[in-house]
Each structure stands twice: as structure tokens, then as C-alpha cells.
Structure 1
Amino acid sequence: MLVAFLTVPLLAGSAFAHAVAEGDKGYIQEITGINLLPFIYLGAKHMVTGYDHILFLLGVIFFLYRMKHIGIYVSLFALGHSTTMLLGVYFHLGINSYIIDAIIGLSVVYKALDNLGAYQRWFGFQPNTKLATLIFGFFHGLGLSTKIIDYDISPDGLLPNLLAFNVGVEIGQLLALAAILIVMGFWRRTPSFFRHAYTANVVMMTAGFVLIGYQITGWFVS
């Protein structure tokens, strides 16, 4: 069941990672002033449709069972994501979108390998998973800020609108996390969980490599 869910990014195409829909793009470019509710909606929509976010979150909580631990890791990701998204747009700190999206793909690969115990087997040590979650959260936020900068958001009401967008992102993250936890909760109760956990993480890692390859190719041909 979960393996089928993980294959969606491979079929959907990597072009939509961190993308903002064309209709939303036009709306962002046209409106001025403070528009809190629309930006909350746009932020939530971005998170629940951003499969790169969802894949990374899935990888982070894959083997976490206690809500306390889940809360710590999700909060670290939210802190990193929110910080660079807000600062990146406010101070107009854009990064090449192909490079940042390739790094985001790398975050998915990193977490899948971590779940597979690859670092302990290959290098004999375990990376600091909390620090890695925070750092990759920074990159996920930069990915979104880069897209927003490209859409020339109006400076009129910029800070309130960005804060509203970030609130929406966090709402969307909670909704996505709730859906993941429900699915994982049912799956973990079945005998197939540990039998198919390896395959699920390999599929997740493959999705990350597809995103990396797509973005690197786009960087060279653009």
C-alpha cells in the first residue's frame, strides 16, 4: 500500500517539485496589500501538494513511534523551512531553482539511506539526525522562497502575507503528517511492515534520485 503511494512522484514527474500552480502564480503577481486568508490557503495547498516535502517527512517519521519524538523532528523541519522561506523572500535571497531542488531531492535520498542503516554499515557512524533534519529544512525553505521571488510578489503587505503563507504551510504540514501517521499506523499493525519497509525506503530513495537527475539535467540544458 505505502509502496504504491511512494511511486506517485516517479509517475508525476519532477517538474512540479516546489512549483506553484499557474493560477496561483498569476494571483500572487496581481494582488497587492494584506491578504491573509488567501496566503494561508496558498501555503497549505503548497505543502499538501508538494510531494518532495511529503516524501522527506515520511522518511523522517518512518521509524518514529512516539509522538514526542515525531514532534521534535517535525518541529525542527518546520523551524528550518520557515526561517529560510521568510528570510529568503523578505531579503530577496534567491538560489538557482535547479540546484536547490536537486538538494531537496538529495534530502530524500539521505533520509532513505539513513532508514536503511547505510551510514552505519558503510562508514561505521550514525549522522546527527536532528541536525540533518534542521539543515535540510533550511534547503526546503529556500526552494520555496526561490519560487516566490520568481513570481515578483508585491512589496505592499509583504511581511504579513509571508507570515500568513507560512502559517498555511504549517497547517498543510500538519494535515499531511496526520494522513501519513494514519496510513503508517495501520501498516505498522500488519505483519508486512518490517518485511516491506526496506522496499519502501528503496522506492523513496529512487524518487529522490529521479528528482536530482531531472534538476541537474534541467540545469545543464537551460
Structure 2
Amino acid sequence: MESMPGVRCLFRILIHCLVMLCCLGVAMGHVGFENTTEIRIQPERMRVVVRMAVALTWLLKVTAGGEVLPLQMSEAGFNDEGAAEFTLDYDRPAKGPVRVEALFFKVMGPLDSGTISVFDESLRPASEGDEPMKGKVIVSADPALDFHLPGDAVLGVCGGNIMPEPPGLGRYFLLGIEHILTGYDHLLFLFALVVACRGVRPMLIIVTAFTLAHSITLALAAMKIVTLPSQWVESFIALSIIFVGVENVFLKVEPKRRAVLTFAFGLVHGLGFANVLRDIGLGSNGHSIFGPLISFNLGVETGQLALVAIVLPILIKLRKRPRFEKYAVPVMSVAVILMGSVWLFERVRGGL
């Protein structure tokens, strides 16, 4: 028979993990990349918008035709999520190619990543949902993006416009792993589901339903068959977390009903995953989306299964104690409700 100290130790570990998840979520939630760079090409100038967690703008280098472009104007502020946002203006160069090096990534960890996206604002300002003319996932080993200005006559060996090479499939796989491991709202939703399961089989059914659902809408959104404003998606994700937490506390959880509910909410979470691929312009410039899409999804599933493999044995052991379901599950579910409510408030407020 298992010793009581051993069970208490497992319970403490689970509680600590939940608290850490909630604390990280207050600051970060999951709304795409924390570090992004956008280049907006306007009629009289070229504007670079940098969003990052720390003020390292002096480590950004912009060149055109090999010459360093002088910074003309800069603005600093905070976006709706509270992250620092810097706007840097440069004179629009007469000719390219243009190279933007996010050198601040060289002082970050090897697993940190972000995006650089180029938007053509020659005729109108870019708005949410617009595709970049070029995008790239950047890491410390490769933090630069090269591009040509709209209208530049750049010919390849066989004639026609040069199409930039997309990131390798391995990069998309790692991006998927990073996305799920830092997607605290997705993780909290999954945790709220499995913590109320009364056996291994219901847990596996829940995880499978969530996986199938978000894989479907991830593919549909990547192919632009289904599109919704990101604020709606992120707000509904927060609402799904609250709903599951409330059900854990006040309603009897029926396995079949919970599986259907997980699948329905998983469809929305898949649209949240797709926002990341949209940020880097997946499928733009004529490149195939299928290889990157599959690699990204495999990365998401790999990260998700790794976490489930860690949490599942702990839950199985704790489930053997009646007090766990009677006291611990409601307490943890209330914490889930509170965290989901914070996210919902932040995301709804961001659109007001």
C-alpha cells in the first residue's frame, strides 16, 4: 500500500505545476509570438515595428544595398497585451535588396524564436488578417530576413520573380513544440479536462478528441477555408477554460459528453494554433503549405504528448485517494476558472 507521504508529495508537485502555469499565464497567455518584427513599406518611407519583451532596439540593424539605413524617428509604447512596442522609421530606400537583422536574438537562448514579416503599405495601411508579402521564423542562429521592395525587377536564373525559400520543415516542427509548451491557455484547458477524468481510458479519449479537433481547424485555417478574427478566437479559448472549470465544480462529468465537448472546444483551439502560421505568411509567395503544416502539427502533438506522459502517472496515483476528487479537483478547478476569467477580461478589453 502506498505511503501517505508519497501521495502528498505527488499532490504538492501537481499543485506547484498548476500554480506555475497560472502565474506564467497571467503575464503571457497565448496570443502568438512574444517577439515580432514587421516591415511596412509605405509610399514615402519604410516603417519597422518591433515588439519585444525588453528594450533592445539598438541591436536591430537595417541595410539596403549593403548600406546601413539611418534611423529617422522612433516611438515606444505598450500594446494591448502589455508588451513593449517600438516603432522605428527609416527613409524608404531607392532600391534593394533590404536586409533586417534582429541582432537582439543573438543574446537570447537557442530555443527562443520570433517572426519577421514584411507588409506592403504602398497603397493602404495593413490591417489584422492581411498576409505579409514575406515572413520568416527567426532564431538566434539565423535572425535576419532579406527582401526586395515592391516593384523591384529581380530575376532568377530561369526568369520570373525570385521566390524566397521557406524555413525548413525541422524549423516548423520545433516551432510547433515551442508553441504548445508556451501556450499556457491551451495547456490549462487540457489540464482542466484530464484532472476530472476517473481513469486512464477517459483521459486518452479526451486527449485524442482534442488532438483530432485542433488538427482539423488548424488545417482549414491554414488553407483559408475557415478564418475568424484572432480576438474572437482568443476570447473564446478563454471562455472554454472557464466552462470546463465550472463543469468540474458544479456538474457531474459524463465521459461521453466530455469527449464531445472537448472536440467542440478543440476546434476553436486549432484556430488559435493557426494564428502562428499566419504570422509568418505560410503559403505566401506560392510555396506549398502542406509540408510545413504537417511538421508544425507534429511538433504540437509531440510537445502535448510529452506533457501528458508526465502528468498522467501523477494523476493516476492521486486518483486512488478519495480526497483527491472530493477536495483537490474542485480547488484546482476554481483556480482554472479564475485564470480563464483573467484571460477573458484581458482579451475582450483589448478589442474595446
* Common fold: TM-score over 0.5: yes
Equivalent AA in structure 1 for residue 341 of structure 2:
F
Query: Please, which runs of 5 or more residues in structure 2 have no aligned partner?
Result: 1-11, 36-112, 117-135, 139-144, 146-163
* Pairs aligned (count): 215
Q: 1:144 Cα shift?
A: 1.7
Q: 1:180 Cα shift?
A: 1.9
TM-score (norm 1): 0.84
Residue 279 of structure 2 is aligned to residue 150 of structure 1: yes
- Structure 2: how far apart are the matches of 1:149 and 1:94? 11
Aligned residue number for residue 338 of structure 2: 206
Match of 2:262 among 133, 139, 145: 133
Residue 215 of structure 2 is aligned to residue 215 of structure 1: no
Match of 1:54 among 174, 187, 203: 187
- Structure 1: how far apart are the matches of 2:321 and 2:255? 28
Q: 1:102 Cα shift?
A: 1.1
Q: 1:76 Cα shift?
A: 0.9
- Structure 1: how far apart are the matches of 2:220 and 2:172? 17
Aligned residue number for residue 32 of structure 2: 19
Q: How do 1:64-79 residues align onto structure 2 when only pairs under 5 Å count?
A: 64-79=197-212
Q: 1:205 Cα shift?
A: 0.9
Q: Which has the larger radius of gyration?
A: 2
- Structure 1: how far apart are the matches of 2:304 and 2:274? 17
RMSD: 2.6
Question: What is the SS of the residue equivalent to 1:24?
Answer: strand
Q: 1:202 Cα shift?
A: 0.3
Aligned pair in 2 of structure 1 residues 113, 137: CA closer, same or farther (>3 Å)? same
Match of 1:106 among 217, 228, 239: 239
Question: What is the SS of the residue equivalent to 1:25?
Answer: strand
| 1:177-220 deviation line (CA, Å, top 9, x unaligned) | 11221332444456752332211110011111111011011111
Question: 2:218 touches 2:273 (CA, 8 Å); kept in 1?
Answer: yes
Aligned residue number for residue 80 of structure 1: 213
Q: Report the identity percentage.
A: 25
Aligned residue number for residue 35 of structure 1: 168
Question: What is the SS of the residue equivalent to 1:63?
Answer: coil
- Structure 1: how far apart are the matches of 2:227 and 2:21? 25
Question: 2:214 touches 2:268 (CA, 8 Å); kept in 1?
Answer: yes
Aligned pair in 2 of structure 1 residues 67, 119: CA closer, same or farther (>3 Å)? closer
- Structure 2: how far apart are the matches of 1:130 and 1:199? 22
Looking at both structures, which has the greater relative contact order when contacts are Cα pairs under 8 Å and sequence separation is at least 6?
1
- Structure 1: how far apart are the matches of 2:320 and 2:260? 30
Question: What is the SS of the residue equivalent to 1:219?
Answer: coil
Q: Which moved more, 1:200-209 or 1:28-37?
A: 28-37
Question: 2:248 touches 2:329 (CA, 8 Å); kept in 1?
Answer: no
Aligned pair in 2 of structure 1 residues 98, 7: CA closer, same or farther (>3 Å)? farther
Q: Which moved more, 1:175-184 or 1:191-200?
A: 191-200
Q: 1:95 Cα shift?
A: 2.2
Q: 1:109 Cα shift?
A: 0.9
| 1:4-49 deviation line (CA, Å, top 9, x unaligned) | 4323354332544142242332343857346221111111111122
Equivalent AA in structure 2 for residue 36 of structure 1:
L
- Structure 1: how far apart are the matches of 2:260 and 2:322? 32
Q: 1:89 Cα shift?
A: 1.4
Q: 1:119 Cα shift?
A: 4.2
Question: What is the SS of the residue equivalent to 1:64?
Answer: coil
Question: What is the SS of the residue equivalent to 2:351?
Answer: helix
Aligned residue number for residue 96 of structure 1: 229
User: Between Structure 1 and Structure 2, which shows a larger proportion of strand residues?
Assistant: 2
Q: 1:168 Cα shift?
A: 0.7
